[in-house]
Every structure is written in structure tokens, then in C-alpha cells.
Amino acid sequence: MVNISKRPVDEEKLFKLYQLFFEVVNNAGDKDEFMELIQDILTPVEQIMIAKRIAIIYLLIKNVEQVEIAQHIKVSRATVGKFNLLFYKKKTRLITVIESFLKSEKISHFFENLFADLFTHVGYYHDRDLEWQREKRKKEQKMIDV
């Protein structure tokens, strides 16, 4: 769990801190620089926590069962349920951003491949044909993207 001081920062100062955070992160020129900044700013636990939260929202958008999400992302069902209520059903800005990514074909393929790796392991579902089809689709996508 992330530790935070019990002494609150007033709203005006907090807003300025968020602006500074935005400017620092927005300064990254590419993905590698962004990752370096994130690794400098956030602890490994915080990085994983944020990545899992985004993954939960993505999988909810893709209509993956909450139990499946909890099992594969390694979070509790209560956590998935909380995000379902707090974000997904309210159509927050995060939902809008992820949905816009899904409309972009290259980003969509990235997400599909990422989560296919999580959900289709030979031996987990014992479905070699499904794994073979996924690998074939990845090769086809590489040919299209070139």
C-alpha cells in the first residue's frame, strides 16, 4: 500500500504540484524517455499498481468477466468490482481515452497482443490451436504494419 502523509496539502498547492507533475511527464520525447521518467518518479510497486489499474479498465471495456480479470491480473475480485463501479460505469475520461486507443488499429493490435499473452498460455487452457492462431495473427499484423 502506498504511504501518504496525513497532513493535507491545500487545493491550490496541490493543483500546482499536479501541474509540475504534468510538465515533467509531458517532457518525455518518446516511450523510452517516458519509462525512464516513470522509473525515476514512481516506485516499482506504484508502477505495477498503475499498470494493473489501466489493465482492469481495458479488460472491463472488452467485456472480460471480472473473475477472469482478477485471476490473470493478480488482483482481488473486490478491486475489479471497485473499478467497475468507480470508472467503467461512469464513462470517465480514462474510459474515453482507452476507447479512443482501441479505435486506432496499431494501438488496438498492441492491446490485443498484450492481453492475449495474459489469457492464452499453452498449458493453461490446454488449447494449442488457440495459441497457434494467435501467433499466426501476430505475424499477419506485422506484415500489415510494415
pLDDT exceeds 80 at position 39: yes
- Residues 84 and 119 placed together within one structural domain of the fold: no
Region 47-55: mean pLDDT is 89
CA distance 31 to 13: 29
With CA atoms as reference, report the closest residue to 55 among 36, 70, 35. 70
Alpha helices in 28-76 (DSSP H): 31-41, 44-61, 66-73
36-40, 118-122, 131-135: which has the minimum mean pLDDT?
118-122
Structural domain contains residue 97:
no
Nearest to 25 by CA among 12, 43, 14, 38: 38
Do 32 and 60 lie in a common domain?
no
d(CA 105, CA 114): 14
The domain in which residue 113 lies consists of: 104-146
* pLDDT tier at 76, thresholds 50, 70, 90: very high
Calpha distance 115→77 (Å, rounded): 18
